[in-house]
Amino acid sequence: MVKRGLAITAAASGAGKTLITLGLLGALKARGVAVGAAKAGPDYIDPAFHGVALGGGVSVNLDAFAMGAGLIRQLAHRQNSDTLIIEGAMGVADGGKASTATLANILGVPMVLIIDARGVAETAAMLAAGLDKMLKTHFANTGIAGVIVNHCRSPRHLDMIRDAMEAVGMPLLGGLPSAEALAIPSRHLGLVQASELLEHGNLAGIIAEASAQMETHIDLDRLLALATPLAPPPTNNAITALPPPAQRIAVAQDAAFAFAYPHVLDGWRRGGAEILPFSPLNDEAPDATADMVYLPGGYPELHLDRLAANQNWQESLRALAKKSVFIYGECGGYMVLGQAIIGQDGVRVPMLGLLDVITSFAETKLHLGYRQLECLANVPLPQNAFGHEFHYTTCMEQKGANLFTARDKDGTDLGAIGSVRGSVCGSYAHLIAAS
C-alpha cells in the first residue's frame, strides 16, 4: 500500500513530463525504492510506458473529473509501492476539475514543476513562485514543492536559474540538458504504444538513458523527501469504478486492442468476474464459455487487413452473438463490430458486421473530450457513467438504436451516440467510472 506521493506537473504541455517521469521511475527503481506510478486523466498510452519503466508494474489512471474522491484515494493507495509518482496532464491547472492540481489536492500531495528553460532564465523562478502562490490560494492540500528545469543550455544558464529560485525560496531539484535522442515517436492519438517500441524500437534504451540523466542531474534524495503521505482511503474498500457486467469476460488484448483501463479490469476482478484474454491479431477466439466479450479501443486501423483475414475470431464472435452473449466495443472495438472500416487509402475493409455502422479513416475530424453518458439500452452497463472520447475517425453510416445519450464536460447536449443490435453494442466513448 502506498505511503507517500507527489505529482509531476508543468506550466504547459510539451515541457517533458513523460520522459522525466519515466526517468524518475527508472532511477528510483534502480536505487531500490519501492516506487509506483499513476497518470492524471484518461490517457491510455503513458501508463503503459510507466509499466515498462517499472519493469512490468501497472500504472493506474486517476481522473479527478470522472472519479469521486473516495475512488481516487482507494486506487492510489492500492498501488503496490511505498512512493507513488503521478504524471500530470497538460498544464498544472488546465482542465478545471479535471486538472492535475485538483487531483493532487484530493490526494493531499505536493507537485514538482517541470519548466522548459529554452528562452527563459530568472523568469523561471517568478513562474514557479507565482504558480505556487495561486495554487495555495485555491487549494488547501497542494502546491509547488520543487522545480526541475529541462533543456538547460549550459552550467551558467542553470546557475542563473538556481540563484533566482533561491531568492524566492523555491527548491531547485536540478537541471537537465537537452537530449533530443530521448524523444519518443508519436502518431495521431499521441505517443506510439510502449509494446511497439519495445518490439521494434529502442524504448528500453530511452528509459535507461533518461534514468541515467535523472541520477546525474537531479537530487533524487531531495525529491523523495518532498513526497508526503496520501490522504487516507475511504473506510469502504469495496468502491469500484464500474460494476462487473458479467461473470466470465473475454477481453481482446493485443496491439490492436490495447486501450483497456487497468482500474476497470481490476475492479471487475475484485467484483468476482474472471477476465479471459484473447488476441484477434493472432486469430484467437474468445473463450466459448464467456458470458461477455469486451473489445477495447486501440489502433485497429494499423492492422485492418490482418483483422479482416483472420476468420476464426470473427466467426467465433458471430456465433456468440447468435447465442445472445453480450458483446461490447469501445472506440476501435466499436468500429470493428461494424460492417466495414474505410482505411486512410479509401479502401473499404469488411469487419464483423454485428452492428449497422461504417466508419472511416479517410475523412478525419478530431473528437475529444469527457462524456457524461446515460444508457438507453437494456444492457448490463451503468445507467449513468463518465467516459471519454479521443478519435479522428468519422462515422459515415449508422442505422438502428443508439446506446447512449451524451453531454460534454460542461453539460452541453451532444445527442445520441453509439449503436445497439440485439446483444451487441458499442460507442466511441471509453467508460471510466459510473456516475
Give SS3 for 304.
helix
Within the chain, all domains assigned CATH 3.40.50.880 are found at: 248-434
Are the C-beta atoms of residues 344 and 301 closer than 8 Å to each other? yes
Of 1.10.3720.10, 3.40.630.30, 3.40.50.880, 3.30.450.20, the CATH number of 248-434 is 3.40.50.880
pLDDT of residue 187: 45
- Please tell me the pTM assigned to this model: 0.94
Could you read off the pLDDT of 109-132 as tens digits, one per residue?
A: 999 999 999 999 999 999 999 999
Active-site choice (331, 375, 395, 425): 331
Residue type, 152: C
Could you read off the pLDDT of 62-85 as tens digits, one per residue?
A: 999 999 999 999 999 999 999 999
DSSP state letters, 202-257: -HHHHHHHHHHHHHHHB-HHHHHHH-EEPPPPPS-TT--SS--S-SEEEEE-STTS
pLDDT of residue 435: 93
List Cα–Cα distances, 59 to 14, 279, 311, 424, in angstroms.
21, 22, 34, 30
CATH architecture observed for domain 4-229: 3-Layer(aba) Sandwich (3.40)
pLDDT of residue 197: 61
Q: Kind and range of the H or E element at 157?
A: helix 155-168
pLDDT of residue 188: 47
Within the chain, all domains assigned CATH 3.40.50.300 are found at: 4-229
Is residue 156 exposed (0-12), middle (13-18) or buried (19+ Cβ within 10 Å)?
exposed
395 catalytically annotated: no
Ranges of the chain whose pLDDT falls below 70? 180-201
